[in-house]
Structure 1
Amino acid sequence: MCVDALANKNNREQYTVEDKRNIYAMLLARNGECGRLKDGVLDSVVRDGNCSRRCVSRIWKETKTGGGVNSIKNNLKLKTGRKKMSLDIEALEAIPPGERTTIRQVAAGLNMSKSTVHHRLKEKVTRRVSNELKPSLTEANKKARVAYCLDNLEPSSLEDNPTFKDSFNKVHLDEKIFYRTRKTQKMYLSHREEAPKRECKHKNHIQQIMFLSAMARPRYDSQGNCVFDGKIGVWAFVDWVQAQKKSANRGRGEWELKPSSSVDKNKSREYIVQYVLPAIKEKWPESDRWNTVYIQQDNARTHVLANDPIFAMEAAKGGWDIRIVNQPPNSPDCNILDQACMREIIKHKGSMHYDTPHMKKKNIRE
């Protein structure tokens, strides 16, 4: 008939007129017309009627002071207060996308308050997305992207269940630039601390350094133990230069290590030959020692060509078969770490306009 009185007030069922009259009938049957409830009657009605003591007591008082069973009614009030403002989806879609990048703009375009627009966003009537600017692709670029993804399919699986190659024989090579600091840095301090005093010569020319990283797919044995973590190495692009001026740290003309001012094709070749190739030969699993190893890189102008003679000579030392392969042009999403992206590329016929799929690896591990 009703839920327990200890239930949440907002989620509790309301008593109908029929429920209240049934409770009153139980009270009359057990107490009679006496104006005062006898001992034990209230508790027995609460137990058998599955309702609260306050509800039973209130019904008894109302009927005795208001005229019996005819005084029982439902006092539930209708909805009061300001009415909820709905958001016109068609009006929202009529606003040019470039003019609804903030809640303020959307509110102005719909002639609504910012708080109302924000509430509709929280209720998932609208959604906020990050729109990424992507490289423009020609038809030749799209064909090359699809061909690249198809080449990564396992030939023996094409008829029944197409799957991608395991890519255990590929090393992904890429560069990353890091700045020494940021123009604005957020931090958490106590009330007794002062904010650090940070300085530099010019805020638009913060010192930066580029790193070259090489990694492959990790491998595990039948018991799930990692036998090769795939970490080939990370190297900073630096140069030894002579100091032009005397300072407290060094004298004039002394050699010091500085971040490389520029990285060209010769510098890239130098690092691959001196660092990447020796690291691969040292860390590569012995089980694949005599198989071909592919170093995959993007199509930056400063990268080493696949037929570079110096690289080929150094890569072949020790009987190794190490080759360089390039990703399709304008395709940063085609690295060997994103096989899920390759599926989307095939589905969208080489286009870049697709939602990046999430593998939910954390859930899979759990």
Structure 2
Amino acid sequence: MEATEEYDIIKKTVYRLWKKAKQQMQMGEPAIMEGKIKGYNHSDKLILDEEKVGILSTLERSSIRKIAHKLSVSKSTLGRVQFESMHNVVHVDEKWFYMTKSSDRYYLLPDEDEPYRACKSKRFITKVMFMCVVSRPVFGLDGQTKFDGKLGIFPFTEVVAAKRKSKNRLKSTLETKPIQSVNKSVMRDSIIHRIVPAIKAKWPEWASKEIYIQQDNATPHINGLDTEFEAVAKSDGFKIHLNCQPLNSPDTNILDLGFFRAIQTLQHEKPYNSVDTLLENVCSSYAELSPQTLNRVFLSLQACLTQIMAFRGGNNYKVPHINKDNWKELWDYPMHWMWMRSL
């Protein structure tokens, strides 16, 4: 009765939609409700054949006109190709988080003293590298979060015994120290023993188990053919792939596009005086960010992908302002496809 009154529909329609949703969920699929109004669905939808596109050379894919000619479809039809909303893509990236800024601004009352900051040198501020792992959040029909997309944030640190005695601690006291050199061995250990287990532990049961981890092209990163990675990635019913983002495309990574900045903004609002408190502040800032904030960055990513296609793979564009707050329906309801306009 509540649904009929809220959405102004009859009981029969509610029963039909609920029955269809339960069938989809039992099959392990997201619940998708489609309207029956004539003209609501497009009969000329084209599913992009990735194999055919992959055969084309980069020159043959330099414009929509060329791709449409090679695929024997019209430009307008190609412009309506369905693009996945990346619900099975996991973005990973590293970032240095600093104990303090080299310079900062404070607004003080006339009788207040300037805040005191102790630091050996502003050129050598204590910093810790973190590996952040996120995926696209999933929301139910009622707007409630079914999956927040936050899979973890992991610091590159080690616990070592103090070599000397000081006024702050005794010799051999265990201290948390940042790993200054994150090489391929350290990266492999993080991917295999921290990131992949976190994905398996937090991944929704109803979601696809074929997952694509996207990373940048940094030298310490391992590739998807690493034998140790493959042994872990293709177990427990999962099929995890490791891909690199396109070259010279910084806007194709969610974390660099805005999520790291959101974490850093919250982190600098909290006091800290040691590496341990820095770890706590970064992790708590990561936990405080809402799934809606993460989803907004995914909307920015999709807008950037549109611009990349419009500029024929180039990055000489400005990140578009799309007024994401007016796109509330995109996170109130599960979005499984994104329509791209004809270029």
TM-score by length of 1: 0.55
1:59-208 aligned at under 5 Å gives the runs: 143=58, 159=78, 161-208=80-127
- Match 1:348 to one of 292, 305, 311: 311
Q: 1:360 to 1:250 in 2, by over 3 A?
A: same
- In 2, Cα distance between equivalents of 1:267 and 1:298: 16
Moved more, 329-338 or 347-356: 329-338
Q: Quick check: 1:303 aligned with 2:266?
A: no
Contact 2:138 2:147 in 1 (8 A): yes
For residue 250 of structure 2, what is the aligned residue in structure 1? 332
Instruction: Give the paired residue count.
Output: 217
Of 216, 221, 225, which residue of structure 1 is paired with 2:140? Answer: 221
Greater RCO (Cα-Cα under 8 Å, separation 6 or more): 2
What is the aligned partner in structure 2 of residue 238 from structure 1? 157
Deviation at 1:222, TM superposition (A): 2.0
Query: What secondary structure, in the 3-state scheme, does the structure 2 residue paired with 1:287 have?
Result: coil
Deviation at 1:171, TM superposition (A): 0.5
Higher Rg of the two aligned structures: 1
Query: Helix, strand or coil: the match of 2:236?
Result: helix
TM-score normalised by length of structure 2: 0.58
Does the Cα contact within 8 Å between 1:237 and 1:259 map onto a contact in 2?
Answer: yes
Give the distance between the partners of 2:251 and 2:79, measured in 1 at CA.
Answer: 27
More displaced 10-residue stretch of structure 1: 203-212 or 190-199: 190-199
Distance in 2 between residues matched to 1:159 and 1:217, nearest whole Å: 25
Match of 2:211 among 293, 296, 303: 293
Q: CA deviation at 1:251?
A: 2.1
Unaligned runs of 5+ in 1: 1-141
Q: Is the partner of 1:185 in helix, strand or coil? A: coil
1:245-260 equivalent positions in 2, closer than 5 A: 245-260=164-179
What CA deviation, in whole Å up to 9, does each residue of 1:33-82 have, x standing for no partner?
Answer: xxxxxxxxxxxxxxxxxxxxxxxxxxxxxxxxxxxxxxxxxxxxxxxxxx
Deviation, 1:314, is: 1.6
For residues 288 and 182 of structure 1, what CA distance do their matches in structure 2 show?
41
Residue 334 of structure 1: how far off its partner (Å): 2.0
Q: For residues 222 and 202 of structure 1, what CA distance do their matches in structure 2 show? A: 53
Q: Structure 1 317/346 Cα, relative in aligned 2: closer, same or farther at 3 Å? A: same
CA deviations 1:15-40 (Å, max 9, x no partner) are xxxxxxxxxxxxxxxxxxxxxxxxxx
Match of 1:263 in 2: 182
1:192: how far off? Answer: 2.8
Unpaired stretches in structure 2, ≥5 consecutive residues: 1-56, 68-72, 255-297, 330-343
The percentage of counterpart residues that share the same residue type is: 39
How far is the alpha carbon of 1:307 from its aligned partner? 0.8
Compute the displacement of 1:177 (Å). Answer: 1.2
Question: For 1:214 and 1:251, how far apart are their aligned partners in 2?
Answer: 36
SS at match of 2:219: coil
Deviation for aligned residue 1:158: 5.5
Selected match of 2:231 from 289, 313, 327: 313
Q: Secondary structure at the match of 2:146?
A: strand
Q: How does 1:42-61 map to 2 (within 5 A)?
A: none
Alignment check: 8 A CA contact 2:248 2:315 kept? no
CA distance in 2: counterparts of 1:282 and 1:316, whole angstroms? 15
- Tell me the CA shift for residue 301 of structure 1: 0.6
- Quote the offset at 1:346 in angstroms: 1.3
- Residues 164, 171 of structure 2: 8 Å contact kept: yes
Aligned partners of 1:358, 1:163: CA distance in 2, in Å?
A: 22
Tell me if the contact between 1:143 and 1:350 (Cα under 8 Å) persists in the aligned partners: no
- What is the CA RMSD across the aligned residues, in angstroms? 2.6
| Contact 1:208/1:259 (<8 A) preserved | yes
CA contact (8 A) 1:273 1:314 kept: yes
8 A contact 2:216–2:244 mirrored in 1: yes
User: How much has 1:231 moved relative to structure 2?
Assistant: 0.6
Displacement, 1:199?
2.5
Residue 167 of structure 1 and its aligned partner are, at CA, apart by 0.8
Shift of residue 364 of structure 1? 2.6
CA distance in 2, matches of 1:322, 1:270: 16
Q: For 1:304 and 1:158, locate their aligned partners in 2 and report how far apart those are by CA, in whole Å.
A: 38
